Structure 1
Amino acid sequence: MSGTGPFTARARTDARDWLVEADEPLAGMQLRGGGELPGALIAPAILELVRKAREYRLKLARAITARDGDERVTAWVEVQPDSDGAGCRLAISNWQSEPATEPAPDADRARQIALVRQLSELSARLDPQQQILTVDSQCDELSDLYRKMHEGIGRPWTDFVELEGFSHRQPMHWRLLDGASVAIEGSARSWRAHLVPLGQPQAGRNGFELHLCAAEPLPETHHQPSSRAQKPVERGMGIGLEIAPVLRQPVTRIIANAETIRTQLAGPLADEYSNYAADIASAGEHLLALIEDLTTLELVEEEDFNPAPDQIDLADIARRAAGILGVRAQEREITIDTPKTGETALAIGEFRRVLQILLNLLGNAIRYSPKGSEIWLRVEEDEGRARIIVADQGEGLSEEEQRRVFSKFERLGRSGDGGSGLGLYISRRLATAMHGSLSVESARGQGARFILELPADDQSPAG
């Protein structure tokens, strides 16, 4: 297929961004790469250009780089969206191919990951044990799965799907699950799970991305925005509960596209532009965190907000929080001293809400503690109450700062740390809703001790 030519190859995509018609050599590359015709467009650089043209209703053109077997392909691609938004028409010229010089497995894997991220209809962040940390989806068909996984944060993702061809559940090595076929209750379609390990080496020590991709997209007539984003805004409801899902999708896409640029998956790039993309991704992460804070803020300020009480172990949750934020602590050479294995502090509360509070407290301790210091997580039980204490060796808080630290949007003058000033306010509201409390003990120059207290589990042995 090697060669150069001024010819123009024609192609067409539909509203699902499927490649439905294509001349050679694009048709051949699509089939050799494991795709189908018609089928999902497998070249990430072309797919990204098609999606942008369709969404913005603009004609776009640029040089792209793609992989075709053992060859590296460059071409000029022009994309013209249809006036009714039903698809796009492509014109491809100056197609050139030459033997690839980069190692094929790594390059192929990088492009596969980029494609999976584009096609994903439900995405989740998992910890190293494949337990859910966050989940996001804008697919109507997966709304029930999204709700169950969101309510089940802290549990393995495999609890919520049926693994086809596996006779046992977790723990299973992530490589066995990457590419596994799964069935989802309420969906007639076939689905495939993709796990992307985070960090280097690719062993999952920093957790995973989970992406669920359909074997075949819904018919075009069924492709509509999520009903969660379309529900009418009710009186008294603001950005948190209704507008946040609408904002989350484009921000997530901005982050994904910035990461694609930063890692140069779509082609080589000058270092300064890669750095710009990193800044965009970082700013997007901060904005996404603010959206999540506003969502939770709206929720906890509702008069009828009631967490789901359950029997939980504060010591276990403390160890989980330390595991989730362990890499961040290591980067600052901070040691986290957790409750020992076998130590328990049984309480009544909602697991994911308590984990949310602990992650906020521990994250703040890591952010504001000096490099090389230590953070202690301690649990206690006393007179029908169970508590966990997060103690650090930071600069501490004055009495005035202690009075203000739980106020809404209060950042104590810290203007450059990317925080929203909502974390501690939300955490205290959550603790109060679970019939508990959140307090602080500190003094300037002596660190801080944040204390989360909850009702003890009546079933627990006397401490």
Structure 2
Amino acid sequence: MANTMENPEKILIARGLTDAQDRLITADDVLAELQENCGGDLPGVLAIPELLNLVEQSREMGLRIAREFRAYDGAEEVSGFVRIHPIDEEIGGGCELLIENWLRRPPKARSNRELAEQLDAVDRAAAEVIARLDEEQHVQLLDAAAHDVSEFVAGVSADPGKVWTDYVKLRGVAHQQPLHWRLLDGVQCDVPGSDRSWRARLLPIGFAGNAPRGFELLLVADQPTIDTKGAEETQYSPQTRLIGSALTPVLRQPIARIIANAETIRAKLAGPLKAEYSEYAGNIAAAGQHLSAMLDDLTDLEVVEAPSFSTIGEKVDLVDAAKRAAGILGVRAQNRSIAIDILDESENVIAKAEFRRVLQILINLVGNAIAYSPEGSTVTIATAENYAGVVSVSVSDEGAGIREDQADKIFDKFERLGRESSGGPSAGSGLGLYISRKLALAMDGDLTFAPASANSDAPGAEFTLTLSAAE
């Protein structure tokens, strides 16, 4: 057989035969090899999902099918044109497969452009200073998050509109500025007031002919920020910044691929599999989802603990936000036979807050309520106008509740209080309630906890988000 990793291999015809249970009974060598690479046996249920789907259609409808197909055997991409002929049930049923123009080639490698776009995305996520430049590299807009660049920001504010290189000191560049943008992309520089080493990225925005219409300037520090204000004041640590901003975009894609592949194996979409291996794949997918949620929490943690974090003030209908949160988590609740009841959902309760942050808090509260409630119970969401100038939305459940001696710790960072969901140990990070309360405080509100019922057998838990009423 030819080396398919160097040159595509084209085979004119490959034949196979399936029975009435869609098991591949006989097959030419190349088809048998693909069957085994996809996890199947010979004889055994057809393990190539694309071909299995077509065979089922042909057998059930009793029609001949001729169609192109594509498959992946774990190392190479396979494509071809398959003709499927159903066999009369009186002589055994099943189908005859005739594959023409069979072609095997290595998977398509990512292009240099795709790799460059991925690196740009990583730098954009890790940048602590972002600026918008015009076509001549003059600074138009500036957004800086790091606390050690205040002198740099003040310099730009005092004398705006200059070429960006006038505000920093370039390393190893002796030529007069401005240089061509390609020569400056990736250059090392010193930022006034910062002891860290910085790397500049120039990303073009649109083109007029061969010249960019403008640029996105990214200043990426080679070291994480060091908080000189004290952890008790800002709680903004180098480790949080490194994990939350720099590593999250790098890890997101491989984690998503692990989850998708594990789910494919668990559902036996690639062919028959022993039950214990399907269970293992389910555990892998669950672990991947837990890790993905941890990345989301760490990213949110970085945001809420940044010294410059703030929220916007807009009119938010708490009833609408409650409906949206219930809709997003409806399937999860239904899977555990839990009802979500929204009280007074016809009323409008308007708060002054940031909608996406309110929704984020409600999704966390409702998600926790579903996780810690018994099957067949009810999660209740209620909105209210408490008194002049204050509105609220509360989420209560019928779970085991939280002991009185634990209530003071419920909003602490990484605190889970040993809680377990009814489906097993909670996969939470212990950050959800901490982040939710930080968001509530940032919107000039608060998030509080109280037992949902005086019944000691099933006290439940009730979390209430209070906010200022919109004028």
TM-score by structure 1 length?
Answer: 0.54
Partners of 2:329 and 2:74 in 1: CA distance: 44
Instruction: Say if 1:340 and 1:280 are closer, same or farther in 2 by CA, change over 3 A.
Output: same
1:23 aligns with one of 10, 24, 31? 10
Structure-2 residue corresponding to 1:267 = 271
Partners of 1:428 and 1:75 in 2: CA distance: 49
Structure-1 residue corresponding to 2:437 = 428
Once the two structures are superposed, what CA deviation does each residue of 1:325-347 show, in whole Å capped at 9, x if it has no partner? 12222232222211444311111
1:278 aligns with one of 279, 282, 286? 282
1:251 aligns with one of 234, 252, 255? 255
Deviation at 1:280, TM superposition (A): 0.7
Deviation at 1:266, TM superposition (A): 2.4
Deviates more, 1:375-384 or 1:339-348: 339-348
Once the two structures are superposed, what CA deviation does each residue of 1:203-228 show, in whole Å capped at 9, x if it has no partner? xxxxxxxxxxxxxxxxxxxxxxxx99
One-letter code of the match for 1:255? I
User: Equivalences for 1:54-453 in 2 at 5 Å?
Assistant: 65=48, 67=50, 70=54, 79=75, 234-235=224-225, 236=238, 237-381=241-385, 382-414=387-419, 416-442=425-451, 445-453=458-466
Instruction: Say if 1:10 and 1:294 are closer, same or farther in 2 by CA, change over 3 A.
Output: same
Instruction: Say if 1:25 and 1:364 are closer, same or farther in 2 by CA, change over 3 A.
Output: farther
Partners of 2:74 and 2:320 in 1: CA distance: 55
One-letter code of the match for 1:318? A
One-letter code of the match for 1:393? E
Partners of 2:279 and 2:86 in 1: CA distance: 26
Kindly report the root-mean-square deviation, in angstroms, between the aligned alpha carbons of the 2 structures: 4.5
Partners of 1:396 and 1:100 in 2: CA distance: 60
2:469 aligns with one of 447, 456, 460? 456
Once the two structures are superposed, what CA deviation does each residue of 1:350-401 show, in whole Å capped at 9, x if it has no partner? 2121111101111111111222222221111221112101122222222221
One-letter code of the match for 1:276? Y
One-letter code of the match for 2:48? T
Describe the SS at the equivalent of 2:271: coil
Equivalent pair of 2:256/2:288 in contact (CA under 8 Å): yes
Describe the SS at the equivalent of 1:362: helix
Deviation at 1:70, TM superposition (A): 4.7
Instruction: Say if 1:78 and 1:376 are closer, same or farther in 2 by CA, change over 3 A.
Output: closer
Structure-1 residue corresponding to 2:169 = none
One-letter code of the match for 1:417? S
Partners of 2:341 and 2:245 in 1: CA distance: 37
Describe the SS at the equivalent of 1:317: helix
Deviation at 1:99, TM superposition (A): 6.0
Partners of 1:76 and 1:375 in 2: CA distance: 44
Partners of 1:278 and 1:401 in 2: CA distance: 33
Describe the SS at the equivalent of 1:296: helix
- The structure having more radius of gyration, on CA atoms, is 2
Equivalent pair of 2:70/2:78 in contact (CA under 8 Å): no
Structure 1 residues without counterparts, runs of 5 or longer? 1-7, 14-19, 28-44, 50-62, 80-87, 102-117, 121-137, 148-226, 459-463
Partners of 1:250 and 1:276 in 2: CA distance: 19
Task: Provide the identity percentage.
Answer: 44
One-letter code of the match for 2:429? S
Structure 2 residues without counterparts, runs of 5 or longer? 15-32, 38-45, 57-68, 88-107, 111-115, 126-216, 226-237
